[in-house]
């Protein structure tokens, strides 16, 4: 029988194998596009692909969600005020096969947003580890009127040299939805960029942008669809 060291090595090999298998499964399945935006109503489609060598069962799970100030989403059953018509709710994907889902969506109250999860499960007779991969297609339904610049407030915009972070809180005081297309800290000819993000109605977003440039940043630039906001940065006292 193997000794304790041998058992540990076997366990590590098994764990590594499971991790690699999970990574391969995540890479092999795809959904495109990930995020789409419409005004008032949606008439769209998305593509799911099974890039593995194993047949997959795919089930679609529509979800509503909320976003906390740190950017983390909390999901729940689809809100009753959102009306979604999908061309299919479940289907089988053969190896290397792609499939299009068509849908129409509307909401009793705008703006509205939701995610359609495509849940992949391998079709296999053998018992063992069954990996489920969930990939999102997120839909935003915008109101017809755009959000004015005066509705966006920036607070506590500062550079923390101890942590090399640009920090600020962004608030949307309106009852409408808007997306920040870009968030960029700038200092001289140097800059550091963060991904864009949605600002839900009457919500806040806490931003932290890493800054590893040679000099300190001087201002924060937020780009929205119809306007930009340029906010000077204070240096946080140590």
- With b meaning 16 or more CB within 10 Å and e meaning fewer, what string describes 74-102? eeeebbeebebeeeeeebebeeeeebebe
Mean pLDDT (the chain, rounded): 89
pTM over 0.85: no
Checking if the pLDDT of 29 tops 80, the result is yes
Whats the size of the chain, residue-wise?
A: 238
Tokens standing for residue 165: 């972070």
Side-chain-side CA neighbours of 66 within 13 Å: the count stands at 8
For residues 188 and 20, which has the higher predicted lDDT (pLDDT)? 188
CA dihedral 181, 187, 192, 197 (to 10 degrees): -30
Mean predicted confidence (pLDDT) in 32-37 = 97
**Cα angle for residues 112, 169, 66 (degrees, 5° grid):** 25
Q: Which pLDDT band holds residue 97 (cuts at 50, 70, 90)?
A: very high
User: Is 22's pLDDT higher than 70?
Assistant: no
CATH 2.60.40.10 for domain 29-142: yes
Residue 18 has pLDDT above 50, yes or no: no
Name 184's bridge partners. 193, 221
pLDDT of residue 123: 87
Question: Cβ(165)–Cβ(209) under 8 Å?
Answer: yes
Mean pLDDT of all residues in 127-144:
87
Residue 50 has pLDDT above 70, yes or no: yes
**What pLDDT score was predicted for residue 124?**
74
Q: Are 99 and 57 in contact (CB under 8 A)?
A: no
Residue 81 tokens, joined: 């005020």
CATH no. of 149-235: 2.60.40
Same fold, 29-142 and 149-235: yes
Degrees to nearest 5, angle at CA 88 with 82 and 90 = 110
**Least confident among 6-15, 49-58, 122-131, 150-159:** 6-15
The residue ranges of every structural domain in the chain are: 29-142, 149-235
The whole-angstrom separation of Cα 228 and Cα 231 is 10
Question: Each residue of 201-236: pLDDT tens digit?
Answer: 999 999 999 999 989 999 999 999 999 999 999 998
């Amino acid at each position: 029988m193997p000794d304790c060291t041998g058992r540990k090595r076997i366990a590590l090999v098994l764990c590594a194998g499971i991790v690699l298998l999970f990574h391969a499964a995540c890479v092999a399945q795809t959904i495109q596009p990930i995020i789409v935006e419409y005004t008032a109503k949606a008439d769209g489609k998305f593509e799911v692909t099974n890039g593995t060598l194993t047949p997959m069962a795919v089930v679609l799970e529509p979800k509503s969600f909320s976003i906390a100030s740190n950017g983390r989403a909390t999901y729940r059953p689809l809100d009753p005020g959102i009306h979604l018509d999908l061309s299919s709710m479940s289907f089988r994907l053969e190896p290397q096969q792609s499939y299009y889902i068509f849908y129409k969506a509307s909401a009793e109250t705008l703006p509205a947003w939701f995610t359609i999860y495509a849940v992949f499960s391998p079709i296999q007779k053998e018992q063992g580890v069954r990996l489920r991969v969930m990939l999102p297609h997120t839909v935003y339904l915008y109101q017809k009127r755009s959000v004015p610049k005066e509705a966006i407030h920036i607070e506590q915009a500062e550079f923390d040299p101890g942590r090399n972070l640009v920090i600020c809180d962004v608030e949307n005081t309106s009852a409408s939805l808007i997306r920040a297309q870009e968030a960029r800290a700038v200092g001289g000819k140097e800059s550091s960029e963060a991904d864009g993000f949605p600002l839900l109605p009457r919500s806040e977003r806490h931003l932290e942008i890493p800054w590893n440039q040679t000099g300190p940043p001087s201002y924060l630039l937020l780009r929205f669809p119809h306007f930009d906001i340029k906010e000077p940065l204070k240096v946080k006292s140590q």
